[in-house]
A and B are shown apart, each in its own frame.
Chain A
Amino acid sequence: MKKRMLMLMSVVLVFVLVFVAGCGSASTTAPTSNEKKPFVIGAVFDITGPASSLGIPEKNSAQMLVDQINKAGGINGHKVDLKILDDKSTPAEAALDIKQLIEQDHVLAVIGASTSGASMSMVPIAMDKQIPMVSAAASAAIVRPASDHKWIFKTAQPDDLVAKVVVTYLKAHNITSVAFMPVNNDFGNSGLKEFQAQAGAAGINIVTVQKFEASDTDMTAQLTKVKDAKPQAVIVWSTPPSAAYVAKSYKQLGLTMPQIQSHGIGNKSFIDVAGDAANGVIFPAGKLLAVDTLSASDPQKSVLSKYASDYQAAFPGQALSTFGGHAYDATNMVLDALKASGDNPTASSIRDQLEKISNYPGITGVFNMSPSEHNGLDTSSMVWIKIANGKWTLDQN
């Protein structure tokens, strides 16, 4: 009996020794293969909540890019550690998220957020902590004036630029009276402000402004008001799903004037929810949606094709969206700034590199940053897209 106990104990002892030795060797060998410590960067996206159709492709695109870099050996031998947090589409959560990234994870730079409201709430924190932040959202106010936004950059086309594209289109088509329908949040209200500022100078009369909420599902009441005001065209400034319900109610009321939507509908979710009511809608967007019909001489052609094929290989069955492109550009810029900063990058070295970006072909456009310009896109980054038979097509008119 005693003998057997002894044997059992020695067997257990051997197992324990082998296990400990195994652990020991594993833990000592791991660091030697990768001595350099990883670079930590953070990202805040609207992964759940009403703006999730923006946030999910953004999260995927950022993660895909970082995985590619790490697979290729990292940056100068340093792996990149991307910490992604979800702000649940609310500005309050976005502010908490960026605080956590800076204070607990000690990130070198922050990417995000997806929407203007969430980004705006992160700006004062990034400024205060002096951490570079690259937003993927639209509102021009996120980075303007650049003198007050030393640490803030953004990749999406700003709404004043899009407003300019829309005004140019209206003038070319001799449209002088329009109805404007913004979603009642930072994106819509900022679009309204920029459009009002430019329409007056161009001799375009806004006959009625009809707001709706991001959570509304029926816009017939607002569109009836629009119908009574008899505009030549209707401009909608929103994101799906609410933008799609405008299109649905538009069809219900049988309105026939041109329906111009904003760059906010550049994802498949708009067509999915609006169904055949999406047909006939035109909107300005980045070139990604028309990548197949782009001429080979376009400076963005190669980067667009690579992104499109990489994304569809990594996330089969998921449609491309311009929003994913915004995050792809933001992540790419931060990674390039890290590459240019050597072995000891700091928040301020990354910031300085970001500001030096010039003639940089991205998904959203060709970027030219400067101390006075922290977005760096011009109207050449946008094309007109028309939805026909549930598909995006380049609108040459």
Chain B
Amino acid sequence: MDSSSLMQYILTGLAQGGLYALIGLGFVLIYNVTGIINFVQGEFVMLGAMLAVTYERMGLPLPLVIVFAVVSVALIGAGLEVISIRPARRATPLTLIIITIGLSMAVRGIALLIWGTDPLVIPAFSGGGPIKILGGALMPQQFWILGATAVSVLGLYIFLDLTVMGKAFRACVINKMGASLMGISPRRMSTLAFALGAAVGALGGVVFAPTLASYDMGMALGVKGFVAAVLGGLTSVPGVILSGFIVGIGESFGTAFISSGYKDAISLFILLLVLLVRPQGLFGIYGGKRV
């Protein structure tokens, strides 16, 4: 194996890892505020991709396709929270997690009825051939995926650290009781968390739509995002981003040197290994507060 092959495995892993990081980010946002592992996250990605196809076929220009798809899915995410999570908010987290599993099945079923079973795609965001980096090659669309991850992290940073609403959101994360004594509604923040998580997931789906948009894509991607989130400690934004890349690169090397059939096994194996050594995840604070 020469260095250009090595570079290709790393680049392939980074591009795929960027998507996993983006999906994992949604898990972290929702977990931080509500304590729920949201298994609808993968379906938000699917909805983002599917709606991008629908809006693109309506003839909308690309920027509007992206914005509309992300906003629509954010509204769907908030709506799902209001109709299904909020009425059951006094239930245990386990019950709430089971509710999200049920929701994900329902969303997948509805998507099947709306869009059918054929895999769909939209044209790549920018044309042109592969871009060479140190002997490896990436398609322009894969830079869009990495760019979307960067934009999401930056956007969340600005929102959480520099706006009043973002500060209220963080207050809920740090101490729910304290926050509600200060007049912040944890209920409203839970809805906001679902909207944000859905928006981030949808953005991942939109940038992935030139590769694949299919009603059943959500589950597999959701599992990868979940692994990235847990690996990163479930609460840390830098943790989930780094973990996403670790999972992506691990998969890419596993495909090259073992078999792509073990791809899922490899990411779960990485997860098990890390959790055995550091049960709190790579970046989790053991028994500490959720930040």
Binding site for B on A (CB under 8 A): 47-49, 52-53, 56, 184, 211-213, 215-218, 220-222, 224-225, 227-228, 240-241, 245, 248, 251-254, 269, 272-273, 275
| Number of B positions contacting A (CB below 8 A) | 35
**Which B residues lie within 8 Å of A47 (CB)?**
117
Q: Given A213-B261, A254-B137, A52–B117 Cβ distance below 8 Å?
A: yes
Could you count the A-B residue pairs with CB atoms below 8 Å apart for me: how many are there? 87
In the complex, which residue of chain A has the Cβ closest to the Cβ of B139? Answer: A252
Q: How far is the CB of B285 from chain A (nearest CB, A)?
A: 34
Q: Which residues of A contact B220 (CB under 8 A)?
A: 215
What is the bound-complex CA distance between A53 and B121, given in angstroms? 14
Chain A residues closer than 8 Å to B11, beta-carbon distance: 220
B12 with A220: CB separation less than 8 A = yes
Is A213 within 8 A of B256, CB to CB?
no
Q: Is B5 an interface residue (CB 8 A)?
A: yes
How far is it, in angstroms, between the C-alpha of A284 and the C-alpha of B188 when the chains are bound? Answer: 59
Query: A265 to nearest B CB, angstroms?
Result: 13
Given known pairs A213-B263, A254-B130, A269-B119, the reply for A224 and B256 (CB within 8 Å) is yes
List B66-123 residues whose CB lies under 8 Å from chain A: 112, 117-121, 123
> In the complex, A332 Cα to B40 Cα: how many Å?
45
Which of A48, A212, A220, A273 is in CB contact (< 8 Å) with B119? A273
The answer, yes or no, to whether B54 is at the interface (CB within 8 Å) is no
Assembled-state Cα–Cα distance A225/B2 (Å)? 11
Contact residues, B133-175 vs A (CB, 8 A): 137-139
Contact call A52/B118, Cβ cutoff below 8 A:
yes
- SS class, residues of chain A in contact with chain B: helix
CB B123 to nearest CB in A, in angstroms, measures 7
Assess the B137–A252 pair: CB atoms within 8 A.
Answer: yes
Give residues 1-58 of B contacting A (CB, 8 Å): 1-2, 5, 8-9, 11-12, 15-16
Residues of B within 8 A of A251 (CB): 129-130
Question: Which residues on A sit within 8 Å (CB–CB) of B117?
Answer: 47-49, 52, 56
On whether the beta carbons of A221 and B255 are closer than 8 Å, the reply is yes
A278 → chain B, closest Cβ, in Å?
12
Q: Give the distance in Å from the alpha carbon of A248 to the alpha carbon of B141 in the complex.
A: 12
B137 A221 Cβ-Cβ under 8 A = no
Sorted from nearest, which 6 A-B pairs have the closest CB atoms?
A52-B117, A221-B255, A221-B256, A241-B119, A220-B12, A224-B8
- Whole-angstrom distance between the alpha carbons of A253 and B124 in the complex? 17
Contact B16 A218 (CB under 8 A): yes
Q: For chain B, residues 241 to 259, give those with C-beta under 8 angstroms from any C-beta of chain A.
A: 252-253, 255-256, 259
- Enumerate chain B residues within 8 angstroms of A241, measured Cβ to Cβ: 119, 212, 214
Task: Evaluate contact between A228 and B1: CB separation under 8 angstroms.
Answer: yes
Residues of B within 8 A of A (CB): 1-2, 5, 8-9, 11-12, 15-16, 112, 117-121, 123-124, 129-130, 137-139, 211-212, 214, 216, 220, 252-253, 255-256, 259-261, 263
* B261:A184 contact, CB within 8 angstroms: yes
| B residues in contact with A213, CB < 8 Å | 260-261, 263
CA distance A158 to B255 in the complex (A): 29
Partner of A252, one of B112, B138, B212: B138
A184 pairs with B139, CB closer than 8 A: no
In whole angstroms, what is the CA distance A52 to B119 when docked?
Answer: 9
**A275 close to B119 (CB less than 8 A):** no
Q: In the complex, which residues of chain A have a beta carbon less than 8 angstroms from the beta carbon of B130?
A: 251-254
- Give A52 to B214 CA distance when docked, in angstroms: 11
The answer to whether B261 touches A211 (Cβ under 8 A) is yes
Q: What's the Cα separation between A177 and B216 when bound, in Å?
A: 38
B117, closest chain A residue (CB): A52
**Does B5 contact A211, Cβ atoms closer than 8 Å?**
no
Determine if A253 and B137 form an interchain contact, defined as CB atoms under 8 angstroms apart: yes
**A86 nearest CB neighbor, chain B only:** B117
A48-B112, A251-B130 known; A221-B260 Cβ under 8 A: yes
**Chain A residue with the shortest CB-CB distance to B253:** A221
Q: CB-nearest residue of chain B relative to A220?
A: B12
Q: Which residue of A lies closest to B120 (CB)?
A: A272
**A213, A241, A252: which has the most chain B beta carbons within 10 Å?**
A252
A257: min CB distance to chain B, Å: 16
CA–CA, A49 to B252, complex, Å?
A: 25
Nearest residue (CB) in A for B5 is A224
Cβ contacts A to B, 30 pairs, < 8 Å = A49-B117, A53-B119, A56-B118, A211-B259, A213-B261, A213-B263, A217-B211, A218-B12, A220-B8, A220-B11, A220-B252, A221-B8, A221-B9, A221-B253, A221-B255, A221-B256, A222-B256, A222-B260, A224-B5, A224-B9, A225-B256, A228-B1, A240-B119, A241-B212, A241-B214, A248-B211, A251-B129, A272-B119, A272-B120, A272-B121
Q: With CB as the reference atom, state the residue of chain A lying closest to B208.
A: A217
Residues of chain B contacted by A228 (CB below 8 angstroms): 1-2, 5
Q: Please name all residues of chain A whose beta carbon is closer than 8 Å to the beta carbon of B216 when the two chains form the complex.
A: 49
Is B211 in contact with A221, judged by CB distance below 8 angstroms? Answer: no
Complex Cα gap A48–B112 (Å): 9
A100 to B40, CA, bound (A): 34
B212 contact from A212, A217, A220, A221, Cβ within 8 A: A217
A221 and B252 contacting across the interface, CB-CB below 8 Å: yes
Q: How distant is the Cα of A218 from the Cα of B112 in the complex, in angstroms?
A: 24
B1 cross-chain contacts in A, Cβ below 8 A? 228
**Whole-angstrom distance between the alpha carbons of A53 and B119 in the complex?**
8
How distant is the Cα of A47 from the Cα of B116 in the complex, in angstroms? 10
CB distance from B84 to the nearest CB of A (A): 25
- State how many angstroms separate the Cβ of A23 from the closest Cβ of chain B: 34
List residues of chain A with CB within 8 A of the CB of B263.
213, 216
Distance between Cα atoms of A272 and B210 in the complex (Å): 11
